[in-house]
Structure 1
Amino acid sequence: MRGVVVDEVFEHHRDLLFSVAYRMLGTAADAEDAVQDAWLRWSSADRSGVAEPKAYLVRITTNLALDRLRSTRAQRESYVGPWLPEPMLTSPDVAEDVERAESVSMAMLVVLETLSPLERAVFVLHEVFGFPYTEIARSLDRSEPSVRQLGTRARKHVEARRPRFESDRRERREAVERFLAAALGGDINELMAILAPDVTLWTDGGGKVRAALRVIEGADKVGRLLAGVTRHEFRGVHPTDLRIERAELNGVPGLVLYNRTEPFATVTVDLDERGRIGAIHMVANPDKLQALAAGRTVS
């Protein structure tokens, strides 16, 4: 019976642990590994003195994610082309909650990549999940004043770099539809009309598929590149033969492009204060599309 109880306790918190780990690490595979390692620690630990399993499990998962984040930073520095988080389907409750949706957005996760591992841990636990600094300090084996300092520094850093304008879901959905129509039609004039002058295009191919090796900036460059790309085959499929599905990706309306039966790219956009597209995030690295293909969601 005891094993069944332990399983139930861990499973009850599994989604929370994955959500913490994903925001810490930016990829589903790494997050799943951290949660699995947390399970191994939990199943072999002496739990007689554990009064709060949730706090205990979050502490284990956070520290495992920290270790993994430190070890992957060097890999990401040598990553081929722009690095983007792994796109994830988001559950309806996340999509309808503005703050939770932002915490898992591509733009936010890109900003979190610029924090130190400890700053990221404190920001995620406090700002996203609402854990008090006293509890975070115990989890990270740091003094409360130092954790508060980390939290303040992380919050200021994020505030300075996060998207400054919020848009509602209807605006985003309409922008995605206009972008899709203009891109597939190769209409450079329409693309230029919906792109902000300082728009950025992030394409993550990871060196595995064709993609820009740097972030493209400016409406003229982005518009012409997109108009050119949509005139040619991509991985053996002509744009007119693509199967495109609308989906909730990282808290916002997005597109999933399918090469026959498997997803081969995702697209999400951010808007500026005038409703124009200010950033486009396109993930085509096949290693980052496995969770999407499996239907894995983040909450």
Structure 2
Amino acid sequence: MIEQDVQARRFEAERDRLRAVAHRLLGSAAEAEDAVQESWLRLASADSDAIANLSAWLTTVVSRICLDMLRARATRREDPLERVAELDDTTGVDPEAEAVLVDSVGRALLVVLATLEPHERVAFVLHDLFAVPFDRIGPLVDRSAATAKKLASRARRRVHGPAAAPDPERVRERRVVEAFLAAARSGDLEALVAVLAPDVVRTADLAALRPGMAAEVRGADAVAEETVFLRTRAGFAVAAWVDGAPGVVVAPGGRLLLALRMTFDGDRISGYDVVADPARLPTLEIALLPEV
């Protein structure tokens, strides 16, 4: 009994770190809790005398659990209409959990991580975010240390996008996107019109449309009015690279539900396409915006 109490205290000392690892690997706070709890069950049934480094052992165990969950997730399909219905129903959203997500992980990072293959995601998260050496990551993903390093490198390029010198035009477009988001969140119709070109065109695929919404809307006033009507979505939105230009991803809980592919005319948005179809979303190239 005393040994079990000591083991439980040692596990509790690791819980927050394990939860952080699992959250970044899975992108879901609820699933991260499940993975951490499963790691405790495995520890409770393990031979504690054979565990030389508890922290490393637990990291490996929770990462393997997460890897299995990521593989299983890849086999499930979602109904696109159910996805957008979920987006517009915020009754189950925990504002405190959303705030923690943004502060501790970053909505855009979770979205980009979700575009990675499971092995890439594990290698990148463990090495780049938690400084786990590749000689420990390799066996976990059934690869050599050298191959695990390549997986992380490939994931890093996808997370951060192509390395390039800051482009003043892209910086300006990013600021336009951020102004658009700020106005959308506050419901400021005048500010929205100011960042939209007079002849702006908003298009959307079927999965992004609510009943009564048109597949295409033209004109700054009409687009701004629709944006204000749907401003709940802006609360889950963040700027990101989308197909090589600043755009927007909307991701409650860090789970990508739709993206805005934007075009620009100087300091204004000339058009954007709302992509929500699960068949289209994986074809988008999404990356973090560089620091400016």
TM-score range relative to shorter protein: 0.5 to 0.7
Partner deviation per Cα, 1:200-225 (whole Å, 9 max, x = no partner): 99xx99x9xx6999xx9999586342
SS of the residue aligned with 1:6?
helix
Q: 1:89 aligns with which of 87, 94, 99?
A: 99
Do the aligned partners of residues 41 and 282 (structure 1) sit closer, same or farther apart at CA in structure 2, a change above 3 Å counting? closer
Q: 1:180 aligns with which of 185, 197, 206?
A: 185
SS of the residue aligned with 2:248?
strand
- Report if aligned partners of 1:119, 1:150 keep a CA contact under 8 Å in 2: yes
Counterparts of 1:140 and 1:22, CA distance in 2:
18
Counterparts of 2:250 and 2:12, CA distance in 1:
33
Equivalent residue letter for 2:11 = F
> TM-score, normalised to structure 2's length?
0.61
Counterparts of 2:217 and 2:158, CA distance in 1:
22
Equivalent residue letter for 1:6 = Q
Do the aligned partners of residues 10 and 75 (structure 1) sit closer, same or farther apart at CA in structure 2, a change above 3 Å counting? same
Partner deviation per Cα, 1:140-192 (whole Å, 9 max, x = no partner): 34211111121111112222289x989xxxxx9998764433x1x5x1x4213
Counterparts of 1:122 and 1:212, CA distance in 2:
44
Counterparts of 1:132 and 1:173, CA distance in 2:
37
Equivalent residue letter for 1:37 = E
Counterparts of 1:117 and 1:40, CA distance in 2:
23
Counterparts of 1:266 and 1:27, CA distance in 2:
18
**Residue in structure 1 matched with residue 26 of structure 2 by the alignment:** 25
Please show how residues 1-299 of structure 1 align to structure 2 within 5 Å. 1-75=2-76, 77-78=78-79, 80-81=82-83, 88-90=98-100, 95=103, 104-160=105-161, 178-181=183-186, 183=187, 185=188, 187=189, 189-194=190-195, 223-229=224-230, 266-270=235-239, 278-279=247-248, 281=250, 283=252
Counterparts of 2:211 and 2:132, CA distance in 1:
39
Counterparts of 1:161 and 1:219, CA distance in 2:
34
Equivalent residue letter for 2:252 = V
Partner deviation per Cα, 1:42-89 (whole Å, 9 max, x = no partner): 1100121211111100100000011111111233554543699x9633
- Report if aligned partners of 1:137, 1:144 keep a CA contact under 8 Å in 2: yes
**Which structure 1 segments of 5+ residues have no match?**
96-100, 167-171, 231-256, 258-263, 286-299
> TM-score, normalised to structure 1's length?
0.59
- Report if aligned partners of 1:81, 1:212 keep a CA contact under 8 Å in 2: no
Counterparts of 1:57 and 1:271, CA distance in 2:
33
CA drift at 1:198: 10
Counterparts of 2:24 and 2:45, CA distance in 1:
26
- Report if aligned partners of 1:265, 1:282 keep a CA contact under 8 Å in 2: no
SS of the residue aligned with 2:49?
coil
SS of the residue aligned with 2:236?
strand
- Report if aligned partners of 1:59, 1:140 keep a CA contact under 8 Å in 2: no
Do the aligned partners of residues 144 and 280 (structure 1) sit closer, same or farther apart at CA in structure 2, a change above 3 Å counting? closer
Equivalent residue letter for 2:98 = M
SS of the residue aligned with 1:118?
helix
Which structure's relative contact order is higher, taking Cα pairs within 8 Å and 6+ residues apart? 1
Counterparts of 2:113 and 2:217, CA distance in 1:
21
Do the aligned partners of residues 71 and 191 (structure 1) sit closer, same or farther apart at CA in structure 2, a change above 3 Å counting? same
Do the aligned partners of residues 271 and 145 (structure 1) sit closer, same or farther apart at CA in structure 2, a change above 3 Å counting? closer
SS of the residue aligned with 1:227?
helix
CA drift at 1:283: 3.1
CA drift at 1:281: 2.5
SS of the residue aligned with 1:270?
strand
Equivalent residue letter for 2:47 = D
Moved over 4 A (4+): 76-79, 172-178, 194-201, 210-213, 216-222
